[in-house]
């Protein structure tokens, strides 16, 4: 299913991006020869009344719009006016920019749909604060509710994480508004230094020391997986874990922490069954390697299901106009955040390990889709903005590179030489291949 959701996401965004180029080309009177989703020989195709071929190809990692262009072959005299190269620099830049702009418009519409239909998330109340963390040093405590980050209101944990993202890689201070359990409100000043700059996949919540409030889950076994350490130890459905190595276990989270910290280490587990009869089991958790190379223990059993308290859920819904303003603001903030992250990677304030390729994107697509329509639409909007920003970078072969070359031509007052354009394209290809290699390396290292 992960591959399917990845293909759905890529197809949607490629169609949006290429339609932007297609629409702009038609508006400027350029003849479009082909609109292709995917690369390679077409699986199927058809032509419209304008003679444009619409096709779907087997390699689903992009697409293209092919226009009439004298640089790619002879153009009949009666069609020269429809050639891309015969259009003004302003028109060519308009066509080049239309693809990324279409991605941004898609993101605005996606966010508008979410905001107008209503979004929900968990109230940002702290269950704990990591000792010696920036939040701990600022005097933020368990039970506090995070009501703002540097003046921006936070209705749920997703908001808190969003407003913390710009501070990654920074050495700075910012304010965090909290509401205590007694209802008093305070502004706390948080100080960070090179915050999470060398961390792969930085999580701003845990990085600041925030531990979100968790639903109480009793340490009662409900599921024992076959051929696992838990089954070998003799766990049965209904067993309540009382202690591990003589240390009392208060809830399922405490049990999980002990198991994770003990790969291939025998543990003496005291349990009580459904009849209240106690017994001791020897559990030796299996070792499981994580993406970051660390190893944790895994037992292979699950707890009883618990109902999420409705009072912990925050629902936000806006009228159509307010939703549009919020969607525009969200998209522009995301554009800035994407550019800021790229710059931080260039100057070394953010690890290049955060650059992701198609494998990681596919994983995120699958994970977001499994969470429902809202997270999948959020993912599409995020990826659409990333695609738009990437294509606007002033790198030859990208849309931004075409705009750059057109601008140079405008300044020089004459067309660029074929030799210069070829050198620029080779340089652009080298940059893109380097980025792709880093992204693929990061993907493979996470497997």
Q: Each residue of 46-71: pLDDT tens digit?
A: 999 999 999 999 988 889 999 998 88
- DSSP string of 155-210, one letter each residue: SSHHHHHHHHGGGTT--EEEEEEEE-TTS-EEEEEEEESSTTTT-SS--HHHHHTE
Exposed, middle or buried by CB within 10 Å (0-12, 13-18, 19+), for 67?
buried
Cα–Cα distance for residue pair 166/296, rounded to 1 Å: 31
**E-strand spans in 13-165?**
32-39, 44-47, 53-56, 59-67, 119-122, 126-129, 145-149, 152-153
Residues 229 and 157 in one domain: no
Identify whether 52 is part of a domain.
Answer: no
Q: How confident is the model at residue 345 (pLDDT cuts 50, 70, 90)?
A: confident
249 Cβ neighbours under 8 A, 6+ residues apart:
219, 241, 242, 243, 255, 258
Answer whether residue 361 shows pLDDT above 90: no
CA separation, residue 369 to residues 5, 159, 171, 379, 403 (Å): 7, 20, 35, 9, 35
- Percent pLDDT > 70 in the chain is 95
Cα–Cα distance for residue pair 357/39, rounded to 1 Å: 18
How does strand 286-289 pair with strand 295-298?
Answer: antiparallel
Residues 171 and 248 in one domain: no
The first and second tokens of residue 99, run together, are 């693809």
Identify whether 353 is part of a domain.
Answer: no
Answer whether residue 33 shows pLDDT above 90: yes
Radius of gyration of the chain (CA): 27
Residues 12 and 102 in one domain: yes
* pLDDT for residue 31: 95
> Final residue of a domain: which of 273, 288, 316?
316
Mean pLDDT value across residues 270-299: 92
Phi, psi of 33 (to 5 degrees): -85, -40
Residues 132 and 104 in one domain: no
Identify whether 58 is part of a domain.
Answer: no
Mean pLDDT value across residues 332-359: 82
Task: Identify the DSSP state of 119.
Answer: E
Answer whether residue 363 shows pLDDT above 70: no
Q: Which residues are catalytic?
A: 18
Cα–Cα distance for residue pair 422/96, rounded to 1 Å: 18
Residues 104 and 133 in one domain: no
Q: Does pTM surpass 0.85?
A: no
Least confident piece of the model among 74-83, 116-125, 384-393: 74-83
Residues 96 and 123 in one domain: no
Identify whether 336 is part of a domain.
Answer: no
Q: How confident is the model at residue 369 (pLDDT cuts 50, 70, 90)?
A: low
> Final residue of a domain: which of 316, 342, 357?
316
Cα–Cα distance for residue pair 390/302, rounded to 1 Å: 42
Contact 398, 428 (CB under 8 A): yes
* pLDDT for residue 202: 82
Range(s) of the domain holding residue 233: 221-305
Identify whether 378 is part of a domain.
Answer: yes
* pLDDT for residue 288: 92
Each residue's pLDDT tens digit, 109-139 = 999 999 999 988 999 999 999 999 999 999 9
* pLDDT for residue 373: 84
Identify whether 183 is part of a domain.
Answer: yes
Mean pLDDT value across residues 91-108: 97
Q: What is the CATH number of the domain that holds 236?
A: 2.30.42.10
Cα–Cα distance for residue pair 308/152, rounded to 1 Å: 27
- Number of domains, the chain: 3
Identify whether 46 is part of a domain.
Answer: no
The first and second tokens of residue 255, run together, are 């049990």
Residues 189 and 312 in one domain: yes
* pLDDT for residue 442: 66
Return the closest-CA partner of residue 32 out of 56, 65, 63, 57: 65
Residues 98 and 185 in one domain: no
Cα–Cα distance for residue pair 209/128, rounded to 1 Å: 8
Residues 247 and 292 in one domain: yes
* pLDDT for residue 16: 97
- For the chain, give the number of residues: 447
258 Cβ neighbours under 8 A, 6+ residues apart:
244, 247, 249, 267
């Amino acid at each position: 299913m992960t591959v399917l959701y990845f293909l759905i996401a890529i197809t949607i965004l490629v169609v949006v991006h290429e339609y932007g180029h297609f629409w702009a080309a038609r508006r400027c009177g350029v003849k479009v020869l082909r609109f292709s989703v995917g690369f390679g020989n077409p699986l199927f195709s058809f032509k419209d009344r304008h003679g444009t071929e619409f096709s779907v190809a087997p390699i689903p990692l992009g697409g293209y719009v092919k226009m009439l262009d004298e640089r790619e072959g002879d153009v009949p005299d009666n069609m020269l006016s429809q050639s891309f190269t015969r259009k003004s620099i302003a028109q060519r830049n308009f066509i080049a920019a239309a693809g990324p702009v279409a991605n941004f418009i898609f993101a605005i519409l996606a966010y508008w749909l979410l905001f107008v239909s209503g979004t929900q998330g968990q109230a940002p109340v702290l269950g704990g604060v990591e000792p010696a963390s920036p939040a701990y040093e600022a005097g933020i405590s368990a039970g506090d509710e995070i009501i703002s980050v540097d003046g921006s209101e936070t209705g749920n944990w997703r908001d808190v994480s969003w407003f913390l993202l710009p501070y990654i890689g920074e050495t700075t201070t910012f304010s965090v508004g909290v509401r205590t359990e007694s209802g008093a409100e305070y502004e706390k000043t948080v100080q960070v230094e090179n915050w999470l700059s060398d961390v792969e996949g930085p999580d701003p919540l845990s990085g600041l020391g925030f531990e979100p409030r968790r639903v109480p889950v009793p340490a009662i076994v409900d599921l024992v997986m076959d051929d696992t350490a838990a089954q070998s130890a003799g766990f049965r459905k209904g067993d309540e874990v009382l202690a591990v190595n003589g240390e009392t276990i208060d809830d399922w989270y405490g049990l999980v922490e002990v198991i994770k910290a003990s790969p291939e280490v025998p543990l003496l587990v005291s349990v009580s069954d459904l009849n209240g009869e106690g017994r001791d089991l020897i559990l030796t958790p299996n070792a499981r390697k994580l993406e970051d190379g660390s190893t944790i223990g895994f037992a292979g059993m699950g707890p009883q299901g618990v109902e999420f308290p409705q009072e912990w859920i925050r629902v936000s819904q806006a009228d159509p106009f307010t939703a549009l303003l919020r969607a525009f603001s969200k998209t522009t903030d995301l554009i800035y955040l994407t550019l800021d992250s790229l710059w931080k990677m260039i100057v070394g304030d953010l690890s290049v390990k955060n650059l992701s390729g198609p494998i990681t994107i596919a994983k995120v697509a699958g994970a977001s889709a499994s969470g429902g329509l809202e997270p999948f639409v959020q993912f599409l909007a995020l990826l659409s903005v990333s695609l738009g920003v990437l294509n606007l970078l002033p790198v030859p072969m990208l849309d931004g590179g075409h705009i750059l070359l057109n601008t140079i031509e405008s300044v020089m007052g004459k067309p660029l030489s074929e030799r210069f354009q070829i050198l620029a394209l080779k340089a652009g290809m080298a940059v893109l291949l380097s980025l792709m290699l880093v992204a693929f390396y990061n993907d493979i290292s996470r497997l």
